[in-house]
Amino acid sequence: MMDPGVSSAGRFLDACAGRPVDRPPVWMMRQAGRYLPEYRAVREKVTFLELCRSVDLAAEVSLQPFRRFSPDGVIFFSDILVPIEAMGARVEFGDGGPDLPEPVRTSADVARLSRFDPSERVRFTGEILGRLAREVGDRAAVLGFCGAPWTLASYLVEGGGSRSFSVIKEMMAREPETLRRLLDLLADVAADVLSYQIASGARAVQLFDTWAGELSTQDYREWALPAASRAVAGIRRNGAPVILYINGSAHLIELMAATGVDVLSVDWRLSLSEARRRVPGAALQGNLDPASLGGAPDDVRRRTRAMIRETGGAGHIANLGHGILPSARLDCVEAFFETARQPLSRGAVAKEMVV
């Protein structure tokens, strides 16, 4: 039944488990970022990696969207490439995105990377999460995250972002054992990192396999799926649900569920009603087109209402279909949160997700 006193953290965890909610919880991927003037003000004074490593500043920018919009989830500020650096790779952030000047292509390159103890090498991430957990309490679910093996491997092998992902795809044929070893190593690192984040205060964690949607169904099944499954199986969850995000996952949704995660986070290309039909037992997250937040508030309200109607609000975490863009308008973001926070109509309330 609807419980008007439910906390945001409780609502978030209820939605992940497909339990009844008064309304879907809502947050935005990349909600701490350049569309916020207060983020840009902090960023003017430090480099991106300095910001990631400063407990005070990273906690501060994680809380900026919370103060403005009261999302039900507060993701800690960091980047999927932080653990990559801790493994021993060189990572630089320029204006064009991440740059890894020593790409990993051979078994000797993989051998130079190591599994590490997160409480030693990225202790600051645990400290940021602990700080957020204390500040936020039950007013939101503090969220941890990590890149999934395939997406992390694509940055390591390509040496940065890519359009075609041709180097890592060539590696599937030419260096299959090296690539398999790299993916297994990254799966273990992801599991260690997420376990540490949960132990430090994260109430739920998200695996970002952003670029796995570039694979055919068969290649996903052969390469990205076993590695993601290994990561998921290795997480010491302590009750924390796991969310998996893939951009362009319309052909993969059934296989996403096979990784063993609790929540499937999908982009705007696949309707949530189709996702629900194809994977009835999984909670869903998404899927407003982030570009719509550069448009007009009325359009955002209409799209957000339509999105929630797709699931009836059950087993659904309202979110974007990918990270928010720097061009997003604050009045549109406000319209998104305000609309998603409307209580569900009586007929829809307390409807248990059919599993």
- What is the set of active-site residues? 30, 34, 43, 79, 155
User: Does residue number 77 form part of the binding site for ligand CP3 (CB under 6 A)?
Assistant: yes
User: Does residue number 137 form part of the binding site for ligand CP3 (CB under 6 A)?
Assistant: no
DSSP one-letter string for 165-210: -HHHHHHHHHSHHHHHHHHHHHHHHHHHHHHHHHHHT-SEEEEE-G
Interacting span for ligand CP3 (CB under 6 A) from 72-80, 129-137, 171-179, 282-290: 72-80
User: Does residue number 48 form part of the binding site for ligand CP3 (CB under 6 A)?
Assistant: yes
By beta-carbon proximity to ligand CP3, the closer residue of 40 and 305 is 40
Read off the amino acid at residue 110. V
Q: Which helix (H) or strand (E) holds 275?
A: helix 272-278
User: Does residue number 294 form part of the binding site for ligand CP3 (CB under 6 A)?
Assistant: no
Q: How many residues bind ligand CP3 (CB under 6 A)?
A: 23
Minimum gap (Å) between residue 76 Cβ and ligand CP3: 7
User: Does residue number 68 form part of the binding site for ligand CP3 (CB under 6 A)?
Assistant: no
Interacting span for ligand CP3 (CB under 6 A) from 77-85, 99-107, 108-116, 194-202: 77-85
User: Does residue number 98 form part of the binding site for ligand CP3 (CB under 6 A)?
Assistant: yes
Q: Nearest Cα to 149, choosing from 192, 182, 197?
A: 182
Choice from 210, 259, 319, 339 touching ligand CP3 (CB under 6 A): 210
By beta-carbon proximity to ligand CP3, the closer residue of 93 and 124 is 93
Neighbouring CB atoms inside 10 A of 2's CB total 13
Q: Nearest Cα to 165, choosing from 118, 200, 209, 198?
A: 209
Q: At what angle do helices 149-158 and 176-200 cross, to 10 degrees?
A: 120
With residues binned 3-state (H G I as helix, E B as strand, rest as coil), the percentages for the chain, rounded to 5, are 50, 10, 40
Minimum gap (Å) between residue 41 Cβ and ligand CP3: 12
For residues 279 and 26, what is the distance between their CA atoms, to the nearest angstrom? 21
The residue to which tokens 């060189």 are assigned: 90
| Residue 78 contacts residue 125 (beta carbons within 8 Å) | yes
**Pattern of binders to ligand CP3 over 151-190, x per CB under 6 A?**
----------x-----------------------------
User: Does residue number 97 form part of the binding site for ligand CP3 (CB under 6 A)?
Assistant: yes
Binding-site ranges for ligand CP3 (CB under 6 A): 29-34, 43, 48, 75, 77-81, 93, 97-98, 145, 161, 208, 210, 322-323
